[in-house]
Structure 1
Amino acid sequence: MLAAPSAASAQTEFHIQYGSLDNPFSGQAEQTVILTFQHALSWSLGDSFFFTDFLDDVSVDGFNDRDFYGEWYPTLSLGKLAGRTVGAGPLRDIAIIGGINFDGDVDFFKYLPGVRASWDVPGFYFLNTDVTAFIDANTGLEKGGGAPKTGNSWMFDVNWGSAINAGNQSFVFTGHAEYIGGTTDELGREVKPWVLAQPQFMWDVGKAVANQANQIFLGIEYQYWLNKLGTDVDENAAQLLIVWRL
């Protein structure tokens, strides 16, 4: 995500992650490789954040089998539209957010319109809280999709970024945590509410080894997922993380 947004700035990253992740439908843990393309953009009237994951695990089980999953969140800043600060105290800005979540393997698609509050908190270069709808647009089983249609729900998300310097070493602590409300699917089954947290802690190895700051990072992503994808499976997973920042 953007470390220092300006009137028009952008940041692109490529990630490699490796770890043991649970198949929520079989309960089996599989070694999984995730390749991520991530792009963050700040422009005169708002921001945009987009990523696509390409996922593959070691077994052919209908889950994470050379699949891709992505999310896009463009925002429209009320403060930038008005030309003045919207908010007071630690509240830095309010924005209208529109999001989409999509998965290619099972024809999964959600719309997430809502509101973002951006906070000015010491030690963080960004800290946002988002409240959105979670509107189903899946193809559905009846029309040949891999994921059933569900009722609509809602999401609360906290996302953050913080830079940490310790002596000559630099680190980044970033990530998000979300709650998505429960619903039911087209077969009448319960889709449980879930909590997903994905904090990342990264060391600026490019700076430490080659004096090339903000380019190559090495770290871990910890994934905690209560009721993964609305099932009974709870996941705790640490993944190796390598980041190349352009």
Structure 2
Amino acid sequence: MAKKLALKNGKFALCALTAAGSLTCIQPASALEWSDTSIGYRYGTKFAEPYVGDGISKSIFNLTHASGYKYGTNYLNVDLLQSDSKDHNAQEAYVVYRHTLDAGKVIDKDLGVGPVRGFGLTAGFDWNTKNDPGYASKKRMLVVGPTLMMDVPGFLNISLLMLWESNQPVGVSSRYHFEAHPMLNAAWGIPIASTGLSFEGYINYIAAKGANEFGGPTSAELNIDAMLMYDLGTRLHIGKNTLRAGVEYQYWRNKFGNPHSVPGSLAKTPMVRVEYHF
């Protein structure tokens, strides 16, 4: 039964990846000004899951694509997560897609002012499926909102996004829609001089989203995920940033909107991470 469910989830993940990939191809490949695709692996032993607890080990494989074209950028990330027995050996697929339309590029005018390089509009979605027996998340979420693109080495984007989220976990007969709620997001990738190191990550502050699927309260959540990555590609003479390795740390309070009184709602997770870019 578990194998059938895992296969079913895998098919869903493939469908989501195909759909998300098609969105990145709205403009012809020849129109791309830059593109970066990578596969990666990260591992940690201090993950937490609401109502399950903490101290969970997870292996996470990811496919990430980022690209820029005349009018903006695309970002796609697919995580495939494998938990240990503390989380029922659960398997999960989580897909994030974002498109940012650069207003200055659209009207062909420099809109930079002070520390702000430009202004944009970001839209996209989150999608997941998980086969744990307790909750079995099937999250669907649409996002849209304005973005400030800061004038820094690399990039720093700050967005205020409206979220429309729904789920249909175990025990819920039809898809449940949470109240629309805002998220303040910052995402960055900043090289550290000429050291070969890069400081990267994101911060999400998400407002409470009303009652949950079972009528209980939700709380505002804070998710900070930061990493320090080193360019091994240059050191090994296989191409700049082709191979990167580093450390990552995630702090997630009120995970998925669960109040702090819920066991497993607070995660403090160090990880090791490696990526191959092509």
The aligned amino acid for 2:97 is W
- Counterpart selection for 1:179 from 205, 216, 228: 205
Report what 1:91 is aligned to.
Answer: 116
Report what 2:167 is aligned to.
Answer: 138
Deviation at residue 186 of structure 1 after TM alignment: 3.3
Report what 2:154 is aligned to.
Answer: 125
Report what 2:19 is aligned to.
Answer: none
**Is structure 2 residue 216 aligned with structure 1 residue 189?**
yes
**Is structure 2 residue 68 aligned with structure 1 residue 35?**
no
Report what 1:104 is aligned to.
Answer: 129
Q: What is the rounded CA distance, in whole Å, between the counterparts of 1:228 and 1:71 in structure 2?
A: 17
- Counterpart selection for 1:155 from 183, 192, 196: 183
- Counterpart selection for 1:68 from 70, 81, 93: 93
Deviation at residue 73 of structure 1 after TM alignment: 0.5
Report what 2:253 is aligned to.
Answer: 226
Q: What is the rounded CA distance, in whole Å, between the counterparts of 2:239 and 2:213 in structure 1?
A: 52
Q: What is the rounded CA distance, in whole Å, between the counterparts of 1:242 and 1:39 in structure 2?
A: 15
Deviation at residue 139 of structure 1 after TM alignment: 4.1
Deviation at residue 96 of structure 1 after TM alignment: 1.0
Report what 2:15 is aligned to.
Answer: none
Report what 2:147 is aligned to.
Answer: 116
Report what 1:3 is aligned to.
Answer: none
**What does the per-residue CA deviation read over 1:109-146, in whole Å, with 9 as the maximum and x for residues that have no partner?**
1111111110102xx2111101010112334654356x
Kept in 1: contact 2:56–2:87 (CA 8 A): no
The structure 1 segments of at least 4 consecutive aligned residues displaced by more than 6 Å after TM superposition are none
Q: What is the rounded CA distance, in whole Å, between the counterparts of 2:108 and 2:255 in structure 1?
A: 42
Kept in 2: contact 1:125–1:162 (CA 8 A): yes
TM-score (norm 2): 0.78
**What does the per-residue CA deviation read over 1:15-59, in whole Å, with 9 as the maximum and x for residues that have no partner?**
100002112221132110000100001011111111010000112
Report what 2:234 is aligned to.
Answer: 207
Structure with bigger helix share is 2
Q: What is the rounded CA distance, in whole Å, between the counterparts of 2:156 and 2:86 in structure 1?
A: 39
Kept in 1: contact 2:36–2:66 (CA 8 A): yes
- Identity percentage over the alignment? 23
Q: CA RMSD in A?
A: 2.0
Unaligned runs of 5+ residues in structure 1 are 1-5
Deviation at residue 165 of structure 1 after TM alignment: 4.1
Deviation at residue 87 of structure 1 after TM alignment: 3.5
- Counterpart selection for 2:71 from 45, 58, 73: 45
Deviation at residue 220 of structure 1 after TM alignment: 0.8
Report what 1:217 is aligned to.
Answer: 244
Kept in 1: contact 2:63–2:77 (CA 8 A): yes
**What does the per-residue CA deviation read over 1:80-103, in whole Å, with 9 as the maximum and x for residues that have no partner?**
111011241221111111120110
The aligned amino acid for 2:101 is L
Unaligned runs of 5+ residues in structure 2 are 1-30, 131-136
**Is structure 2 residue 76 aligned with structure 1 residue 55?**
no
Kept in 2: contact 1:18–1:34 (CA 8 A): yes
How has the CA–CA distance of structure 1 residues 70 and 26 changed in structure 2, closer, same or farther, with 3 Å as cutoff?
A: same
Kept in 1: contact 2:165–2:180 (CA 8 A): yes
Kept in 1: contact 2:32–2:67 (CA 8 A): no
Kept in 2: contact 1:111–1:137 (CA 8 A): no
Q: What is the rounded CA distance, in whole Å, between the counterparts of 2:78 and 2:51 in structure 1?
A: 22
